[in-house]
Amino acid sequence: MKCIAIDDEPVALSIIEQFCKRCGDLEVTSYTDPITGLEKVKSSRPDIVFLDIEMGGINGIDIARELPAGIYLIFTTAYAEYAVDGFELNAIDYLHKPFSYSRFEKAIERVRRMKKLESLSATPVLTEEEDITLKVEYKNVKIKIASIEYIEAMDNYIKIYLTDDDRPVLSQTSMKSIMEMLPEDRFMRVHKSYIVPLHKVANYTRRQLTLYHRAVEIPIGRVYADEFINRLGEMKE
């Protein structure tokens, strides 16, 4: 995997370089200037970015907000108080300096698991023939299950966002009713207002998730978090 490390301390970068070499399959390029590092991230699109937070007058949190989608972010910092900020930015992990090789290895293993999920999502799990029928205004409309990106509750209606249509489908159906129509091994209610196809989840924390083809953050309700994480864990096995 290709990596970029951004830290204004050369010693910290040297440690990351050594740890990447020990892992065997990590190719890392390091930058002490965060602006230069960010530009390189945008142009080369590495798999992983290791990012310090306090770098002179530049805050790594601001740099993280500019990272392209689809990159696995691992914060490396001596400031533990930024941990919550890091996870809210969908960081895959937060390494508190000084960190050991074994702790570093665990962070890389998280990335590997997420990449495995990504590869699973690329495998077709739904046939084009599978569909559900919903009442939309005064018509019965068939919707291909494979095209469902996510479902959102809106008062007494639901909005179904589709891969092949920019306009969501609006139907006067309850979340309970739509869940009964969908394959329960492929879809899950993750919040009182959201249903997602599990195979399309790109990144997640206990609080929110993102999908592969949608630039939207979907919240995860506290009562759904444990089941959601367990379900994704079963998909990886």
Instruction: Give me the pLDDT at residue 124, please.
Output: 46
208: left (phi over 0), alpha (psi -120 to 50) or beta: beta
Q: What is the CATH number of domain 131-236?
A: 2.40.50.1020
End-to-end CA distance of the chain: 21
145 in Cβ contact with 131 (< 8 Å): yes
Q: What are 148-190's pLDDT values in tens digits?
A: 999 999 888 999 999 877 789 999 899 999 999 999 888 999 9
How does DSSP classify residue 57?
Answer: T
Residue 130 clears pLDDT 90, i.e. is over it: no
Size of the chain in residues: 237
Return phi, psi of residue 77, to 5°.
Answer: -155, 155
Ranges of CATH 3.40.50.2300 domains, the chain: 2-121
Ranges of CATH 2.40.50.1020 domains, the chain: 131-236
What span, in angstroms and rounded, lies between the C-alpha atoms of 72 and 218? 18
Query: CATH topology for 2-121?
Result: Rossmann fold (3.40.50)
Sign, Cα dihedral of 190, 228, 214, 120: negative
235 in Cβ contact with 204 (< 8 Å): no
Residue 126 clears pLDDT 50, i.e. is over it: no
The pTM is what?
Answer: 0.54
Higher-scoring residue by pLDDT: 97, 127: 97
* Residue-by-residue DSSP string for 90-141: T-SEEEESS--HHHHHHHHHHHHHHHHHHHHHTS--S-TT-EEEEEETTEEE
